[in-house]
Structure 1
Amino acid sequence: MSHGREAALVAVLAVVTTVALTYPLAFQLGSGGRVDAEDGLFSIWNIAWVARTVVADPTELWHANIFYPHRNALAFSEANLVAGLLAVPPYWLTRNPYAAHNTVVLWSFMLSVVGAYLLVRYLTGSRSA
């Protein structure tokens, strides 16, 4: 199997697995979310804050509005900078914190599937392992 065909097959498998395991999240990006506890709400806010601020006003990134008037409030917990950067396109396209957060959740599942495949292939030397 060629590298291009292998990559396409792994990508399709990652998307199908992600959609199946997170159903119905992929079909309600802008409205569904893990909001049954404060951690979920904080995560949605955190990723949206980073996605918005890194583009709109990067010098204010660490001065999050969550514990106003304290400065550097983003440093009071995990900053989720990588997740926030992944959320920049969906946030700025939709201006919806749920869509930004949920897109990052889906990306994390898909990248985990691809990473697991690459690790197993590297460790075993077998594409079918």
Structure 2
Amino acid sequence: MASPEAFDVVVQQIADQWGGLTDVVFENDPYELPDTPTEFVYVEVFGDFFDQVSIGAELRDENLWREAGQIYLHVMTPNSTGSRRARVLAKQLVGMFRGQDIDSVTFRDASIGAGDPGRTFANYYAMTATVNFERDE
């Protein structure tokens, strides 16, 4: 899992920029699916590791440490409605992060469906957009 600092930046950026286009659900948050399937975004935030970037500080913890991670933005649309709407929403989500420096988090490259074409889950189709990030401390 990502650090709380990286997670908080992602949550705040979505809250500030998404504007209620769809419901947004973060990992392990309560969410009751509606009786009639409707669009929503399911968000997962992963931090891969903390890598020591600098050396030489008297106390090792005083060196620069880098967290690398990813945001998975699963755009959920009703089954049998095609993938175009999911791609449109995924592009908007990626655009909120791509190339941004927010607090200590730098958002890097992004992809839509890279290596993982859309999948069907019950009454929903999932198109996943991925954004890579780094955070220094």
TM-score calculated relative to the size of structure 1? 0.26
Query: If each structure's helix is expressed as a fraction of its own residues, which one has the higher value?
Result: 1
Which one scores higher on RCO, CA 8 angstroms, separation ≥ 6? 1
Task: Choose 1 or 2 for highest CA Rg.
Answer: 1
Query: If each structure's strand is expressed as a fraction of its own residues, which one has the higher value?
Result: 2
